[in-house]
Amino acid sequence: DTGVSQDPRHKITKRGQNVTFRCDPISEHNRLYWYRQTLGQGPEFLTYFQNEAQLEKSRLLSDRFSAERPKGSFSTLEIQRTEQGDSAMYLCASSSTGLLAGYYEQYFGPGTRLTVT
């Protein structure tokens, strides 16, 4: 399967704990995006990378959230001191910056469902 993969698919944690999610994008894609989605809402942009550089981070994003893409391949999203309001689906997407068809479409992974108790 050459699509976007995310791990874990589900995570239940207690308030105050740290969690880390992983995303493996489509191998030839150099852009990687993280989104958060709650029930009945569209995805909310968190941050994105072009290769290993983090180019933009949402102003709404708390300092408890950090993301890395150390070698321009997979990415991790860490949430420190989780709060109940962090419960959501965390989606990763990737895209290409080439000049081929599909330049602007994003390919999404299945998401990681986080529940903070």
Partner 1 sequence: SQKIEQNSEALNIQEGKTATLTCNYTNYSPAYLQWYRQDPGRGPVFLLLIRENEKEKRKERLKVTFDTTLKQSLFHITASQPADSATYLCALLMDSNYQLIWGAGTKLIIKP
Strand order in the sheet with 75-79: 5-7, 19-24, 75-79, 65-68
Minimum CB–partner distance for residue 36 and partner 1 (Å): 11
CB 32 within 8 A of CB 94: yes
Minimum CB–partner distance for residue 106 and partner 1 (Å): 7
Tokens of 37: 């989605």
Name the DSSP class of 100: S
Which residues face 5 on adjacent strands?
A: 24
Minimum CB–partner distance for residue 111 and partner 1 (Å): 5
Choice between 15 and 103, CB closer to partner 1: 103
Choice between 89 and 116, CB closer to partner 1: 89
Choice between 22 and 113, CB closer to partner 1: 113
| Alpha helical stretches, state H, 39-100 | none
Choice between 91 and 116, CB closer to partner 1: 91
User: What is the distance between the terminal CA atoms of the chain, rounded to a whole angstrom?
Assistant: 33
Minimum CB–partner distance for residue 42 and partner 1 (Å): 3
Binding residues for partner 1, rule: CB under 8 A, are: 4, 31, 33, 40-45, 48, 55-56, 91, 93, 104-111, 113
